[in-house]
Structure 1
Amino acid sequence: MIGRITQLFPVWAVLFAAAAYFSPELFVGLKAQIVPLLTIIMLAMGISLSPKDFINVFQFKKAVGVGVLLQFLVMPLTALLISYLLGFNTELTVGMVLVGSVAGGTSSNVMAFLAKGNVALSISMTAISTLLGIILTPLLIQLLVGERVDVPVSAMLMSLVKIVLLPVGIGLLINTFAHKAVAKANALLPLISMIAIVLIIAIVVALNAENLSQVGPMVALAVILHNSIGLTAGYYCCRLLGFNESTCRTIAFEVGLQNSGLATALAMKFFSPASAIAGTIFSVWHNISGSLLAGYWVRKKETPAKDTAAC
């Protein structure tokens, strides 16, 4: 039952976004809850991790290295290029670059499983990119849009420590020392995370209800292009490097599916509600595109490739 509810995440996200758009007063007052909600998501992510997930980084070191490089190179630069081509203003550009500069999202783990990818690799990549993002995200924002807007790098870094590192670390400790107790509640973690992200989406939509009809379609186009390029680059770069099909699919999801909830929270905290539109739309779209791609791949016969990703 819980699994069925969480599988309908895109539906819930659209329904709550619609409710927020037509009745923004229901969610505007919850603006201050965005960061606490994201903290809950990161805590749930930490509880789902174990020390083994970080040790696996060494087992899949080549694949992880390629994935992380693509993650923090292709996605930020693509976001900036798309924003430039579509003529976005500073607020929308910052929002796009934020989405491109954060770590991979936890939904990539689910998509990797559905697409018969390497789930252990997916979890390890999400874990390591999340930790690296604490430092890289503020630096990338400063590098790419620092000339157009004031980027509080130090404050953002400290917020990422509080919002990401501490909750994930606490969750990891809880899972390590109370694994049996946690195992009983594991089924609830995706549901809790889904409720939190749906509420974040609704709050941001409510705060942007007045101008969403004007900029929403263009931002949606940008998000679809951004996500598609990330998925494509992740997959075909790995094919060219000779990774096996399972690894190619996994890295495609890790590169293309972003922690857009974090991007949204950072936009609201350090920039403006308009800067959070990209992260909000991305949160809905990447679950739809990921599900469709996973469904396609699971029905598609794997293409042979030299297996260089196992080490």
Structure 2
Amino acid sequence: MESIMPLLHYLRAMMELKFFPEKTHMNSQIFCNATTDISGDIPESAGELSQYEKVIETLTTLFPVWVVLGAIVGIYKPTAVTWLATDLFSLGLGFLMLSMGLTLTFEDFRRCLQNPWTVGIGFLAQYLIKPMLGFAIAMTLKLSAPLATGLILVACCPGCQASNVATFIAKGNVALSVLMTTCSTIGAIIMTPLLTNLLAGQLVPVDAVGLALSTFQVVLVPTIVGVLANELFPKFTSKIITITPLIGVILTTLLCASPIGLASDALKAQGAQLVLPVVFLHAASFALGYWVSRISFGESTSRTISIECGMQSSAFGFLLAQKHFTNPLVAVPSAVSVVCMALGGSALAVFWMNRPIPLDDKDDFKE
């Protein structure tokens, strides 16, 4: 019963958000749109949401629920989700990156250069703290070579779109969250294969070139295409942007359920051995990301960096494991991480949602 309490709290919070809009007005575009006020404050709504938008909004904000349901289906009815083969998996992940690109402009990338310190801390947390944690946990718990490699691989993956939703709920800096996700996604082209090779290359052979090529094809190209489409056809993207978050949630659920289904037998056999290290990886990443940030930044920015550090694209890690490692056990930690990441991030977001940001909070990301 205790294991589902964070999910129940999340559902209660979503009901409050829906039926008490005076507390927090939630617009589906705010989740991923980097054009949110740079201070992280949510601009006033230009008007009431239509019933259609409210339905999409509600379905979108319940993303951890769908992930958990997908995981249950994956474990107990794997054939319902394992049809998402490697090629389709790559296509779905690419579409997620495309949908993120549709919410961005080149101006957002300029902001990254204007605020290098804040974004840089998040980048270091993503590619220094978490990979070292993954390596230390794998060595301390003496995981087998394939499982250790899989844990390190998922620790070296970039941030995921779900972190933008969690940041909004946690009253963090939404604009900063999107910029950090974008920077870590682009940085994954170099950092993910480089760090995986450095930390796990001694355990099993790592195809660093293949990892870099896959990252380029699945991450960078769709993101840039989305940004170009947003710049060149703003009227078109403004019409479809309300539905893309829900499509992203559906795809994310499938991309989370498919790894669980494909690894269901291994999960049942290796479950006790894997749950502890994966849970500890995420919990420690959330905690260290927050407390390291508090040294220099305010509460809002620290919450954002914590969520970005603890929530990464486990589905992307699973894809890389499938394509570039012969041992199927390498993909299992990513499958476990999918559920741990979604539940941990949503529970932390709800915890912070009920704790307001101090009025005198310093936020170094403000202009």
When normalised by structure 2's length, the TM-score is: 0.80
Give the equivalent residue in structure 1 for 2:207. Answer: 152
Q: Distance in 1 between matches of 2:240 and 2:362?
A: 40
1:50 matched to 2:122: no
User: What does 1:53-202 correspond to in 2, within 5 Å?
Assistant: 53-202=108-257
From 287, 298, 303, the counterpart of 1:244: 298
- Cα RMSD, aligned residues only: 1.8
Look up the match of 1:9: 63
CA contact (8 A) 1:62 1:309 kept: no
One-letter amino acid of the structure 2 residue matched with residue 151 of structure 1: V
User: Is 1:302 equivalent to 2:360 in the alignment?
Assistant: no
C-alpha distance in 1 between matches for 2:277 and 2:337: 10
* Percent identity of paired positions between Structure 1 and Structure 2: 35
Aligned equivalents of 1:20 and 1:292: distance in 2? 22
1:40 to partner: Cα distance:
1.3
| AA at the equivalent of 1:270 | H
User: Structure 2: 5+ residue runs without aligned partners?
Assistant: 1-54
Q: Contact 1:56–1:121 at 8 Å: present in 2 too?
A: no
Counterpart of 2:204 in 1: which secondary structure?
coil
Higher helix share: 1
Mean CA deviation greater in 296-305 or 107-116: 296-305
TM-score (norm 1): 0.93
Secondary structure of 1:28's aligned partner: coil
How far the C-alpha of 1:166 sits from its partner, in A, is 0.6
Asked if residue 20 in structure 1 is aligned to residue 113 in structure 2, the reply is no
The whole-number CA distance in structure 1 between the counterparts of 2:282 and 2:315 is: 15
Mapped contact 1:80–1:93 kept (Cα < 8 A): yes
Q: Which runs of 5+ in 1 are unaligned?
A: none
Letter in 2 for 1:9: F
Q: Residue 80 of structure 2 aligns to which amino acid in structure 1?
A: L
Write the distance in 2 (CA, Å) between the matches of 1:207 and 1:138: 23
Choose between structure 1 and 2 for higher RCO, CA contacts under 8 A separated by at least 6 residues: 1
Q: Of the candidates 311, 314, 320, which is equivalent to residue 266 of structure 1?
A: 320
1:292 and 1:206 mapped to 2: Cα distance? 24
The residue that corresponds to 1:254 in the other structure is: 308
Give the number of aligned pairs.
310
Cα distance change, pair 299–173 in 1 and its aligned pair in 2 (3 A): same
The correspondence for 1:277, drawn from 327, 332, 335, is 332
Q: Determine the C-alpha separation between the residues in 1 that align with 2:67 and 2:242.
A: 20
Matched, 1:290 2:345: yes
Shift of 1:308: 4.0
Structure 1 or 2, whichever has the larger Rg, is 2
Q: Structure 1: how far apart are the matches of 2:84 and 2:225?
A: 25
Following the alignment from structure 2 to structure 1, what is the Cα–Cα distance between the partners of residues 149 and 209? 17
1:161: Cα distance to partner? Answer: 0.9
**Is residue 231–residue 255 contact of structure 1 (8 Å, CA) maintained in 2?**
yes
Distance 1:26 1:248 in 2: 40
Distance 1:172 1:90 in 2: 39
2:163 and 2:81 mapped to 1: Cα distance? 28
- Output the CA distance in 2 between the equivalents of 1:306 and 1:206: 45
